[in-house]
């Protein structure tokens, strides 16, 4: 974790958009977090952020209502296994990347698992997506893994699907994911780059919440293909057509990072068992697991 930033009086006044006189009044009344060092007042920026966001009147009231011990956002087999194996006490609520961030902003989950995609650089999409949310002013993004996403198809790839253009040309039935899910964002990005409208594809009438749901639909003959990870394809005996390596990250607030559940999970990411599991599942690169990618 990076060290906190301490602001001088004039910097803090500008940051809070107050006159210095008003800031001194708050200091005198003990209403704003600060510390006097060698005769000068210093203001920890992270504490100021929490003070403003929470609407607190006293610095000793900074402790926020604890979020439920849940990781919202995207589903991932390696993450689901790690939450259990690390004895973190964290449950997984898989509703899609953007839904996870929404819940994190509302303090309904302790963390969000995300893999965002857009028109720009997929490698930087998670960082950009978190930085754009004013409600996550105190967010930390922790690397979990890079993982391989692509088309899941029936064993033997009977339709010979290799690209989205093949899916359109052969009128293959494609399963969609919920709006805001990382896989759906990826599909939209792939379609835009190929000059195809999603509406032109032969789509299933319902969205599939997770990769395993989509895999079971392919095995059951409901659909012919859909986007999920290589690990999901292998677990369900399906063929896999690779599209992209993506960042799969965990987002949480700074205060949550230091709580025991998160620390147990992040400690486990350094264990050999985690690396072995990633290798066994396939389609993971865990070299950046546990690394701080953004500290707002």
Residue 286: CATH number of its domain: 3.40.190.290
Are 105 and 57 in the same domain?
no
Are 138 and 42 in the same domain?
no
Last residue of a domain, one of 61, 79, 95: 61
Number of domains in the chain: 2
pLDDT value for 56: 43
Cβ-proximal residues to 57 (8 Å cutoff; 6+ apart), any chain: 31
Question: Is the residue at 283 inside a domain?
Answer: yes
For residue 15, give the CATH number of its domain: 1.10.1660
pLDDT value for 195: 95
pLDDT value for 3: 43
Structure tokens given for 154: 């029936």
Question: Is the residue at 181 inside a domain?
Answer: yes
Per-position b or e across 147-166, b if 16+ CB within 10 A of its CB? bbbbbbbbeebebebeebee
Question: Is the residue at 102 inside a domain?
Answer: yes
Cα(55)–Cα(213) distance, integer angstroms: 42
Question: Is the residue at 50 inside a domain?
Answer: yes
Instruction: Look up the domain containing 31 and give its range.
Output: 6-61
Are 110 and 239 in the same domain?
yes
Last residue of a domain, one of 36, 61, 86: 61
**End-to-end CA gap in the chain:** 11
Are 107 and 184 in the same domain?
yes
Are 83 and 57 in the same domain?
no
Per-residue pLDDT tens digits of the chain, which is 296 residues long: 344 688 899 988 888 888 888 888 888 877 788 888 888 888 888 778 767 765 544 455 445 578 999 999 999 999 999 999 999 999 999 999 999 999 999 999 999 999 999 876 778 999 999 999 888 988 999 999 999 999 999 999 999 999 999 999 999 999 999 999 999 999 999 999 999 999 999 999 999 999 999 999 999 999 999 999 999 999 999 999 999 999 999 999 998 999 999 999 999 999 999 999 999 999 999 999 999 999 97
Last residue of a domain, one of 61, 77, 99: 61
Mark residue 246 as left, alpha or beta (left: phi above 0; alpha: psi -120 to 50; beta: remaining): beta
Q: With beta carbons less than 8 A apart as the criterion, state whether 101 and 114 touch.
A: yes
Nearest to 6 by CA among 39, 48, 63, 54: 48
Are 55 and 111 in the same domain?
no
Are 42 and 98 in the same domain?
no
Are 157 and 267 in the same domain?
yes
């Amino acid at each position: 974790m990076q060290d906190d930033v301490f602001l001088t009086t004039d910097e803090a006044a500008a940051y809070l958009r107050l006159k210095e006189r008003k800031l001194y009044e708050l200091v005198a009344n003990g209403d704003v977090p600060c510390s006097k060092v060698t005769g000068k007042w210093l203001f920890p920026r992270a504490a100021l952020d929490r003070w403003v966001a929470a609407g607190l009147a006293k610095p000793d009231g900074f402790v926020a209502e604890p979020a439920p011990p849940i990781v919202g956002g995207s589903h991932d087999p390696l993450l689901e296994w790690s939450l259990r194996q690390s004895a973190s006490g964290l449950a997984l609520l898989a509703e899609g990347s953007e839904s996870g961030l929404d819940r994190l902003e509302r303090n309904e989950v302790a963390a969000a698992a995300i893999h965002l995609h857009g028109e720009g650089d997929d490698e930087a999409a998670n960082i950009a997506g978190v930085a754009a949310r004013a409600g996550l002013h105190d967010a930390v993004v922790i690397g979990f893994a890079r993982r391989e996403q692509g088309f899941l198809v029936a064993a033997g790839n009977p339709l010979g699907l290799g690209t989205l253009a093949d899916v359109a040309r052969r009128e293959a039935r494609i399963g969609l994911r919920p709006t805001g899910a990382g896989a759906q964002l990826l599909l939209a990005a792939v379609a835009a780059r190929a000059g195809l409208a999603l509406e032109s594809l032969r789509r299933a009438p319902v969205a599939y919440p997770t990769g395993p749901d989509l895999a079971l639909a392919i095995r059951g003959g409901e659909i012919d293909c859909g986007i999920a990870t290589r690990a999901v394809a292998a677990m369900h005996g399906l063929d896999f057509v690779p599209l992209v390596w993506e960042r799969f990250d965990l987002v949480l607030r700074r205060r949550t990072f230091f709580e025991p559940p998160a620390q147990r999970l992040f400690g486990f990411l350094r264990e050999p068992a985690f690396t072995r599991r990633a290798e066994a599942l396939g389609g993971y690169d865990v070299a950046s697991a546990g690394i701080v990618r953004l500290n707002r």
